[in-house]
Structure 1
Amino acid sequence: MMQTWKVMALKMGELTVEKSTLTYNQDFGQSMVIPMWAVAIYGGGYNILVDTGIHDAQWVRNHVAPCSQEDDEQIVTALKEGLGWGPDDVDIVINTHLHYDHCGNNKVFKKARFIVQEAEWAAAHSPIPSQAGIYLPELFDSVDYFSWNFVQGDAEVVPGVKVFPTPGHSEGHQSVLVKTEEGRLCISGDVANLLVNIRENIPAGILTSTKDIFSSMQRVRQLADRILPGHEPSIQKYQTCGFPSLK
């Protein structure tokens, strides 16, 4: 029988945003406080990290949105307190995409190999104008180029952990499918910022393609039993089970 994995949600701070940036053409004028999630995958012979949070809360406050971050919401401290890991214990980093809040601490993981869609790498270095301010090349170019694995489409990372393209929020966005004891869990990144996106078929507000994100959300529903959305407030810090059902 194929190995099952454990997962842990690691909170990387909070943003205060206009809700309409999360729910397409809805909720204008409403503010919302949202968490930023990284996720550890462990218990199957490899230590895997999905996304790495923000690099500097003050930079976020100055350039994007109001931001708060507790001490244990910084990636190194979160990994130590949640799992007892140091940076060199991480074998694989999967970036769902390369926006600033998903790859901010990539450079910390000197011994890891990094996995991203080739289309996202290209888009990050030549973004559409509306996304130029949320790609910071120094956050991903600081990783040794030879540590990157550029994938095209569906790819098995290790047995029981796969990535699959979910474009729409960004051109090369991918999500992660993990075999767990509770079924197939999708670590969605921002194809679903919130649970309401995937349950009520409401796209995110920040998009490269509205058409693509509808198709991507449908693929998530087809593949996954449960979901851990990229900015869902109902998820708890260090949560390891009981993630929201899609069935």
Structure 2
Amino acid sequence: MRIVFANSAWVSAAERLILRGGGWQRVRLRVRYGLIFHPVAGPVLIDTGYTPEALTGEGRGRMLQLYGTLLKPELNAAEQALPVLKRFGLSPDDIRTIIVTHFHADHISGLSLFRDARFIASDAAWARVKARSPRQNLRHGVFAELFPLDFEARLEGLSAKRRVEAREDVPGGSDLFGDGSVIAVDLPGHADGQFGLLFTGLERPLLYAVDVQWLLTALTENRAPGFPATLIAEDAAAIEPTSAMLRRFLAVGGEVMLCHDPAPTSYDLAPEAA
């Protein structure tokens, strides 16, 4: 099984907002999404990153326009989902599964590009999205307009997946493909229903921990930012227990990767030759 991550965009933030004790210098964060080449499920996307549909597309609601104006993401045209798929000889129709780690715009903005894909996501979190008003969803960082109209019909919820028990300091979770190769690990704190992905069949087990922290340094050096960064967390009290679980996983030889950390990893897509 091969795993690659691409960078859909960059977002700049003052270091002190994402790293306790950091300075005022700007840090250029990545906005990753992933592509799994699974031997049975075929090519599988992990989220979609930022796409023009969320940031520049016509017909966006006023709040989504304001969101783009405030955050100012810089789209990376070369590593948008469709060009990256083309590099591997794939089209949107070849993607039959998208793993949706949580429902923030930088993870779901391209779902509408994939007409035939099923969505593996937290059905419990989706039920809460449906129960809330649009204004309430905005307070949770969810723009309902980014979901395809038939999202629920194509949803394959985590609750239906076989559970894998934790062992020592290796977390358990939901077995996404029934073969133990990709385990969805609950990661409470940042967003409602957020889960990461544990890849067990690698030489060194990898846990893609999505948005538990913005910087790996904040995790490994226990320098998670406090107020005001915690204002945007779904459950600020859960961030440290989740981070501590990841540190234990690192201590037993695992590898942790984050969505926004700017440092390149061995799983990041290499730039195309000029």
* TM more than 0.5: yes
Per-residue Cα deviation, 1:155-190 (whole angstroms, up to 9, x for no partner): 111120110110100121111111243321111110
Q: How far off its partner does 1:43 sit?
A: 4.2
Indicate if the aligned counterparts of 2:13 and 2:27 stay in contact, CA closer than 8 A.
Answer: yes
Q: In the alignment, which residue of structure 1 is the partner of 2:151?
A: 144
| 3, 6, 13: which one aligns with 1:7 | 3
Indicate if the aligned counterparts of 1:196 and 1:202 stay in contact, CA closer than 8 A.
Answer: yes
| 96, 104, 109: which one aligns with 2:101 | 96
Q: How far off its partner does 1:238 sit?
A: 6.6
Aligned: 1:194 with 2:225: no
| 200, 218, 240: which one aligns with 2:244 | 218
Aligned: 1:177 with 2:198: yes
TM-score (norm 2): 0.75
Q: How far off its partner does 1:97 sit?
A: 0.8
Amino acid paired to 1:13: A
Amino acid paired to 1:6: R
Aligned: 1:209 with 2:273: no
Indicate if the aligned counterparts of 1:188 and 1:228 stay in contact, CA closer than 8 A.
Answer: yes
Indicate if the aligned counterparts of 1:90 and 1:111 stay in contact, CA closer than 8 A.
Answer: yes
Count the aligned residue pairs.
235
Indicate if the aligned counterparts of 1:35 and 1:233 stay in contact, CA closer than 8 A.
Answer: yes
Change (3 A) 1:180 1:79: farther
Q: In the alignment, which residue of structure 1 is the partner of 2:142?
A: 135
Change (3 A) 1:130 1:16: farther
Q: 1: distance between equivalents of 2:182 and 2:203?
A: 14
Q: Secondary structure at the match of 2:107?
A: coil
Change (3 A) 1:119 1:191: farther
Q: What's the RMSD between the two structures over aligned residues?
A: 2.9
In structure 1, stretches of 5+ residues that fail to align are: 242-247
The structure with the larger Rg is 2
| 11, 14, 27: which one aligns with 2:22 | 27
Q: How far off its partner does 1:120 sit?
A: 2.8
* Greater Cα shift, 189-198 or 132-141: 132-141
Please identify which structure carries the higher strand content: 1
Indicate if the aligned counterparts of 1:123 and 1:172 stay in contact, CA closer than 8 A.
Answer: no
Amino acid paired to 1:55: T
Q: How far off its partner does 1:8 sit?
A: 0.3
Amino acid paired to 2:262: P
